[in-house]
Structure 1
Amino acid sequence: MERNRMTGGASVEETLSLTVEGLRAVKEKIRPLFGQDRVAVSAEHYLETLLGNLPRKTGWQRAEAAGDEGPWRQQALLGRTQWDADGLRDIVRDHVQITLGDEDAVLVIDETGFLKKGKASCGVGRQYTGSAGKITNCQVGVFAAYVSSRGHAFVDRALYLPKAWTSDPVRLSAASVPADVTFATKPSLARQMIERGLQAGLPFEWVAADSVYGVGEIEMSLRHAAKGYVLGVAGSHWFNSWGLGERPVAGEARDIARDAPEEDWVSLSAGHGTKGDRQYDWLWCPLAELEGADYTPADNRTWIRGLLVRRNPADGDLAYFTVWCPSGTTPEKLVQVEGTRWRIEEGFRTAKNEFGLDHNETRSWHGWHRHVSLVMLAYALMAGVRAQANDRSPKKRPANPYQV
């Protein structure tokens, strides 16, 4: 979603006009959150600096861009004033629904790391993060991104607190963690995000996630909500067939993939990436046919439980996914859903490089959620502008290039 590629069918002037109009509209939406005008103005300045071209969006740089003598107002906005970051999250979600909403959308769950020094920042600890590709001192945030045919943006977030934090009341108090916050696994945080989206009426038909989230409570929650999923699992995950397929299947995912005839594999694109189409070999194994009414009384559809396997043709590397989909869903559709997971990775990269997602200098629970929610708003605003710009028909150029 790089902003230098966001003009779509609109001219640069039209895109700038859409941006100004969109910024004015979201300012009006968020103003009631802050109570006092001076706090609302600080939030508006904060949002403007996130949308600016500062190479780093640290407190001092944001303050300078906002015309302040120092970062104190911005620090107060994130840590000392009273306003509800969850209220802002809900405004972001509603804005995404209005600008990007699509009944066939995919909700993608993933996490990203925020590298930190010291031990005071809320949730910090030595833990694995894919951002660094190793165990390191960091915070980890779990995110939900909304991916539709119109674009993609973040709609929810949660800071993961390791047990070393939730078992230490003194540490929790020092970081201003609310008293009702207890330990929650990353899948549990993801399930809560999915349920918030459902309760808010966010339109989506699928959920996609990697193997951190692929087994257990998320699966059952989605079945009861009559939503399809393509969720990563480990190669050791056990699958067995039940009345479907020419050959009975029972075993670990990696063994099923190994024993599958080569003619069962098909080459399909999982979407267009920075290096072209993401072309992989895919194995689709429908395993069982179940009635939706067994999970949701009003659902009269038949659902298929199955195993999807992705193979990299370059090195043979395999990835495995547990699938729940309406009967008649094609392998091409399942591959498309799985391919949406790359959108959230693109989102993390853009949010960090362009909107300062990882430039939060506060240490508190509130500071993290407020900063991240403001970044989500900036991202959602520009995603909506891009969708509107893409809707505009490009103006025809005159046949004579010198004709006005």
Structure 2
Amino acid sequence: MDKSISKTVAAAHSVGPAASRVFDEVMARIAGRFTRVEPRLVARDFVRALLTALDRKNCWQLAEAAGHARPSRMQRLLREAVWDAEVVAADLRSLVVDGLAHPDAVLVVDETGFLKKGVCSVGVQRQYCGTAGRIENSQVAVFLAYASPRGRALVDRRLYVPKSWTVDADRCRQAGIPPSLEFATKPALAVQMIDAAVAAGVRVGFVTADEAYGRDPALRQRLRELGIGYVLAVARNHYAQVTTVVKERVDVTESWLSELAWQRRSCGPGSKGERFYDWAWVGIHDDGPGLHSLLIRRNSDGDLAFYRCWTPRPAPLGTLVRVAGSRWTVEETFQIAKGQVGLDQYQCRNWTSWHRFTILAMLALAVLTLTTLALASTTTTEMVALTVAETRRLINALHHTPPDIAHLLRWSYWRRRHQALARTSHYRRRELQQLSRQT
């Protein structure tokens, strides 16, 4: 066998032990959050099943992959078992930050949508959904990602609950939303997560986010109070105080610049190599402490993007460019979380179940990310670095034992019988509703 192939085979077989070690470390960190043995073991099975190559990852499929006879134990874990998902979220955050810690790490804020049918799922309404790229019936959640040169992972989340929900106490009660919950904008949810991260000891130099967050003055003010620099995208019609007396649209500011003001720089590696753009950097006025500036990016077609920047101390242009480029990592992280561990494949309607499923999916993503990092030294010069998707593929190809035929047949029988009962109950309820309307 060729020597390079032998090295590849040896590296591939090291995935199993590395994944097992990381998985055990992650689950040991949260073990004390479960007061009873059964939910702790079910949580292990749940996270392990999320790492498999299932087409769909709801409780039925996860329970079958875990070897359970019924989905009831996993459904109970999400609905009724006694454990605090927010305490587990704090454990997840510390695991990721400890494992991926780097001086150049940044916090990235972004939202993602989950397409839903009906009106009962918590927080659902017709609203803009970035996943679909249009207004759809969906849930929207704001996520916080920790991105460093060593890797990136989701570390916190907040479900956006629209005003159409918060003004309807009965609807909130039916979905299990805490009575104390008040309406919060998406930037306000981002502030909650950043405050929690800082209170937990997370130290980063910068936060970055897209236009929905860059235009919010309260978010910018809070970051300045915390002493955290920011590079926040803003719309071209955003106004900035360019001098002590002149307030101007940022796209007009660009017309003042000569060609000598532009510098060609890379904002980081992409799938096809370094991502080079032209950048211009303009100081803007503010009476507060720190340095305020406007960063402008120009691509090869002449299209422009604008960023409001603030740093507590002087920082070079290259640093701001790097932070601006890191914003795209969260979109890739969403794709990985949905495609590899089923972040968007839940069938949860109420508040508690949604928060529990998402944190368990984020734990599974952390396992893959930290395993990939642990195996980084096995990459040879003939190969690109191991990815999270490739790590999961190797784990399943080399170390996943398929269920026996009897188990598959039992589940086929159970699914079909359960679906028949559900169909009968649905038809009966619909007939009763029709009769009640007639009378």
- Range class of TM-score, shorter chain: 0.7 to 0.9
Q: 1:270 corresponds to which residue?
A: 267
Deviating more after overlay: 271-280 vs 59-68: 271-280
TM-superposed deviation, 1:311: 1.9
C-alpha distance in 2 between matches for 1:170 and 1:278: 50
Determine helix, strand or coil for the equivalent of 2:328.
helix
Equivalent pair of 1:158/1:189 in contact (CA under 8 Å) = yes
Determine helix, strand or coil for the equivalent of 1:213.
helix
Hey, which of these two has a bigger chunk of helix by percent? 2
Q: 2:298 corresponds to which residue?
A: 311
TM-score under structure 1 length normalisation:
0.88
Q: How does 1:158-307 map to 2 (within 5 A)?
A: 158-214=158-214, 215-242=216-243, 250-288=247-285, 292=289, 303-307=290-294
- The structure that has the greater radius of gyration is 2
* Structure 1 residue ranges without an equivalent (≥5): 1-6, 293-302, 397-404
Equivalent pair of 1:191/1:221 in contact (CA under 8 Å) = yes
Which residue of 368, 378, 382 corresponds with 1:382?
Answer: 368
C-alpha distance in 1 between matches for 2:171 and 2:121: 10
* Structure 2 residue ranges without an equivalent (≥5): 1-6, 383-439
C-alpha distance in 2 between matches for 1:395 and 1:185: 47
C-alpha distance in 2 between matches for 1:279 and 1:121: 43
TM-superposed deviation, 1:139: 0.3
C-alpha distance in 1 between matches for 2:320 and 2:287: 18
Equivalent pair of 1:88/1:373 in contact (CA under 8 Å) = yes
The one-letter code sitting in structure 2 at the alignment partner of 1:223 is R
The one-letter code sitting in structure 2 at the alignment partner of 1:311 is R
Q: 1:369 corresponds to which residue?
A: 355
Equivalent pair of 2:227/2:312 in contact (CA under 8 Å) = no
Q: 2:416 corresponds to which residue?
A: none
Name which structure has the greater RCO, CA cutoff 8 Å, separation 6+: 1
Equivalent pair of 2:47/2:361 in contact (CA under 8 Å) = yes
Q: 2:411 corresponds to which residue?
A: none
C-alpha distance in 2 between matches for 1:395 and 1:152: 23
Distance 1:356 1:241, change over 3 A: same
Is residue 72 of structure 2 the alignment partner of residue 72 of structure 1? yes
Q: 2:415 corresponds to which residue?
A: none
Q: Over aligned residues, Cα RMSD in angstroms? A: 2.2
Equivalent pair of 1:122/1:365 in contact (CA under 8 Å) = yes
Which residue of 317, 324, 329 corresponds with 1:338?
Answer: 324
Percentage of pairs with the same residue: 40
Q: Render the CA deviation track for 1:65-121: whole Å, top value 9, x for unaligned.
A: 011223221111111222111011111001012101123310000000000000010
Q: 1:32 corresponds to which residue?
A: 32
Q: Render the CA deviation track for 1:350-387: whole Å, top value 9, x for unaligned.
A: 00001000011010111111111011111112211222
Deviating more after overlay: 384-393 vs 52-61: 384-393
The number of equivalent residue pairs is: 374
Q: Render the CA deviation track for 1:260-314: whole Å, top value 9, x for unaligned.
A: 222212222222222333222222112247774xxxxxxxxxx310111122222
Distance 1:271 1:249, change over 3 A: farther
Deviating more after overlay: 186-195 vs 317-326: 317-326
C-alpha distance in 1 between matches for 2:109 and 2:381: 38
C-alpha distance in 2 between matches for 1:43 and 1:99: 22
TM-score under structure 2 length normalisation:
0.81
C-alpha distance in 2 between matches for 1:184 and 1:158: 10
Q: 1:4 corresponds to which residue?
A: none
Q: 1:299 corresponds to which residue?
A: none
Determine helix, strand or coil for the equivalent of 1:268.
strand
Equivalent pair of 2:101/2:148 in contact (CA under 8 Å) = yes
